[in-house]
Amino acid sequence: MNLTLSPDTQKFLTTLSEFVREEIIPLERLFLDHRFAELQPQIDGLRQKAKSLGFWLPQIPREYGGMGLSLVEHGHVSEVLGQTPLGHYVLNCQAPDAGNMEILIEYGTEEQKETYLRPLLAGEIRSCFSMTEPANPGSNPTWMSTTAVKEGDSYIVDGLKWFTSAAEGAAFAIVMAVTDPHQENKYRRASMIIVPTDTPGFHLVRNISVMGERGHGFASHAEVRYDECRVPLHNRLGEEGGGFVIAQQRLGPGRIHHCMRWLGICERSFDLMCRYALLRQIAPGKPLAAEQTIQNWIVESRAEINAARLMVVQAAHKIDQAGTYAARVEISLIKFFVAGVLQKVLDRAIQVHGAMGMTDELPLAYWFRHERAARIYDGPDEVHKRAAARQILAQYQ
């Protein structure tokens, strides 16, 4: 595995780091204070600046207006952007839009691309992805209650979804719904269907409060009810019954993005922890960093972040070279391992900051609230451990 980045990529990452530090991070105060009316115009301005600098859509092929980076390269970009809650949005590579772009490129018809993909790529609209249901386990995407029944030249979509991220303000949803409940193969029962959010029967019930925050716009998770939503048959993505396959292809590379974003959070938290440990005096002339416990936390965090990064880069290399299916063990390993490192590093950083760490003066408390979910979404730790163990053991049988 070649870990050397090209000179052009290294130069870009350096320039991007400066952009994040000097342009995006200063806007965090508005975000953490929920001053979204003031924030949005400034964020829109930064998005235009990112586009003019050539930073736009790093993960998207050049023929669609993106930078055309490999999964490994975009992983490093995701780590840089992950150092602030606003980073990915500014470059238009945030979830769930990034994944929706990728599946529209792969499976969308020309009409779907013109109607939904192109304005999404341009940053003119946002989208959401609607799969998880409150009544069924999110770890089992073959078991869901939302249905899409054919009626003439339309699908009638009915069901209740939640944790439909970024639904507030989205122009359309990509909905996972059962189209053939009698199909013997459980992996062929569901399809993905595009539902514009102005469709009669689409109801954004509420933004779900996540550890005390309801969020806003692209940083929210909604409960959505589909009440006899009628959409044309040609709004289906790919073939009927192909929803599970599309979901798996969407989630594999997406886990690389998530893990590298988490490493960006780790790096920012690590930096804040080290700086504060040297700044904070616990006695005249004695900084907090002089304590052995603090030194242990710092060195353990450094070792864990470095190890996690190598694991993620290795998984990304394997996906780039052999595809998502070949890297399924590596994907499961990084999903639970990096999420665990994230929790430990964040907890140590908050502990070092003491009372300051509990406030929203810094992004640490925000991440601690919202990234506890890292061990749950896109497959909980327990499911990934079981899946990886079975595949490893199968090699010995």
Q: Mean per-residue pLDDT for 174-190?
A: 96
pTM: 0.93
Which pLDDT score is estimated for 178? 98
Q: Is the pLDDT of residue 377 over 80?
A: yes
Which pLDDT score is estimated for 217? 93
Q: Mean per-residue pLDDT for 192-213?
A: 96
d(CA 50, CA 92): 9
Q: Is the pLDDT of residue 1 over 70?
A: no
Q: Is the pLDDT of residue 5 over 90?
A: no
Q: Mean per-residue pLDDT for 4-29?
A: 94
Q: Is the pLDDT of residue 249 over 90?
A: no
The proportion of the chain whose per-residue pLDDT surpasses 90, expressed as a percent, equals 92
Q: What are the backbone angles phi and psi of residue 79, rounded to the nearest 5°?
A: -65, -40
Q: Which residues contact 3 (CB under 8 A, 6 or more apart)?
A: 310, 313
Count of helices and strands (H, E) across the chain: 14, 10
How many residues are recorded in the chain? 397
Asked which of 21-25, 47-51, 263-267, 374-378 is least confident by mean pLDDT, the reply is: 374-378
Query: What's the Cα-to-Cα distance from 396 to each of 64, 134, 327, 393, rounded to whole Å?
Result: 44, 38, 18, 5
Q: Which residues contact 255 (CB under 8 A, 6 or more apart)?
A: 331, 334, 335, 378
Q: Is the pLDDT of residue 251 over 80?
A: no
Q: Is the pLDDT of residue 385 over 90?
A: yes
On whether the CB atoms of residues 192 and 175 are closer than 8 A, the answer is yes
Q: Mean per-residue pLDDT for 112-130?
A: 98
On whether the CB atoms of residues 68 and 60 are closer than 8 A, the answer is yes
Q: Which long-range contacts (CB under 8 A, 24 or more apart) does 54-62 make?
A: 55/16, 55/19, 55/91, 56/91, 56/92, 56/123, 57/91, 57/92, 57/93, 57/101, 57/121, 58/91, 58/93, 59/93, 59/98, 59/102, 59/257, 60/93, 60/101, 60/102, 60/105, 60/121, 61/105
Q: Per-residue confidence at 111, pLDDT binned at 50, 70, 90?
A: very high
Residue 134 DSSP one-character state: T
Mean pLDDT of the chain: 95
Which pLDDT score is estimated for 3? 72
Which residues lie across from 177 on neighbouring strands? 191
Q: Per-residue confidence at 165, pLDDT binned at 50, 70, 90?
A: very high
On whether the CB atoms of residues 349 and 365 are closer than 8 A, the answer is no
The proportion of the chain whose per-residue pLDDT surpasses 70, expressed as a percent, equals 99
Q: Is the pLDDT of residue 337 over 80?
A: yes
Which pLDDT score is estimated for 250? 79
Q: Mean per-residue pLDDT for 193-205?
A: 98
Q: Which domains does the chain have, with CATH numbers?
A: 7-108 (1.10.540.10), 127-237 (2.40.110.10), 244-394 (1.20.140.10)
Q: Mean per-residue pLDDT for 113-120?
A: 98
Tokens coding 289 = 């960093």
Residue 82 DSSP one-character state: T
On whether the CB atoms of residues 194 and 238 are closer than 8 A, the answer is no
Q: Mean per-residue pLDDT for 103-132?
A: 97
Which pLDDT score is estimated for 252? 76
On whether the CB atoms of residues 246 and 237 are closer than 8 A, the answer is yes
Which pLDDT score is estimated for 15? 97
